[in-house]
């Protein structure tokens, strides 16, 4: 097993399955793409709605299924007591998801080690403060999440998503609020904005093509939404 100092950075993973364990705790939080994982024989994945906490000594395996990026924190010291029971997969609150976007921009632009440690402490604090952290998703909600992920380029309507999950629109809204703490519309927006960032960063598609791939037929509407969500324009990022 390996030992490290506390680190916080952006990483990507390969499709090959890797299995190991280490003497430090590790948090893997989503930015884009999906990471299939098994932690102490419990299968799950890190995606737009959830992250993973791997406690020291836990056997785990992982493999990526597409272009991906994750915020990864390696913790060599003691895990905060409020996180000790969180080994496995954890639901992300809207505030934590927004903070991960900020972390990505800060880490990719370059920050000092001192600031990294401050950002890591805030990440731990936000994770500790989440009201419902363990993942116990309703099967119908999972159907809705998968359908959204697979159809980001289509002009989805909530009634359509609810129908695919065998729910009414009201039932779908209630499930999202109860289990994820946000509306279906906000969750879909998060998926699309993260997908847009990935395409702008990893492909040569034009901004118009990126907008189309994220379900926006109107470039002005996409540009305004991207700027509001990320804090800078798509053209500026490109």
- Domain boundaries along the sequence of the chain: 7-128, 139-237
Q: What is the pTM of this model?
A: 0.58
Topology adopted by domain 139-237: Arc Repressor Mutant, subunit A (1.10.10)
* b/e sequence 2-18, b meaning 16+ C-beta within 10 Å: eeeebbbeeeebeeeee
Report pLDDT for 2.
45
Tell me the CATH number for domain 7-128.
Answer: 2.60.120.280
What confidence tens digit (pLDDT) does each residue in 173-209 have? 998 887 776 789 988 988 888 788 878 877 889 999 9
* pLDDT the model gives residue 85: 64
Domains 7-128 and 139-237 share a fold: no
Q: What helix, strand, coil percent values describe the chain, rounded to 5?
A: 45, 20, 35
């Amino acid at each position: 097993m390996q030992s490290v100092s506390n680190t916080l950075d952006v990483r990507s993973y390969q499709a090959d399955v890797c299995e190991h364990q280490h003497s430090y705790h590790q948090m893997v939080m989503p930015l884009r793409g999906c990471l299939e994982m098994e932690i102490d024989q419990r299968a799950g994945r890190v995606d737009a709605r959830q992250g993973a906490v791997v406690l020291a000594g836990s056997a785990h395996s992982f493999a990526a299924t597409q272009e991906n990026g994750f915020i990864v924190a390696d913790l060599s010291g003691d895990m905060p007591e409020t996180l000790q029971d969180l080994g496995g997969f954890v639901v992300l609150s809207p505030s934590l998801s927004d903070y991960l976007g900020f972390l990505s921009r800060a880490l990719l632009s370059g920050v000092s080690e001192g600031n990294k440690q401050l950002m890591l402490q805030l990440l731990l604090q936000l994770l500790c403060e989440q009201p419902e952290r363990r993942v116990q998703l309703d099967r119908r909600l999972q159907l809705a999440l998968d359908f959204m992920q697979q159809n980001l380029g289509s002009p989805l309507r909530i009634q359509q998503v609810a129908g695919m999950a065998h729910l009414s629109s009201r039932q779908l809204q209630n499930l999202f609020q109860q289990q994820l703490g946000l509306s279906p519309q906000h969750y879909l927006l998060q998926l699309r904005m993260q997908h847009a960032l990935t395409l702008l960063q990893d492909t040569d598609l034009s901004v118009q093509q990126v907008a189309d791939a994220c379900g926006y037929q109107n470039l002005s509407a996409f540009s305004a939404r991207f700027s509001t969500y990320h804090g800078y324009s798509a053209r500026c990022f490109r």
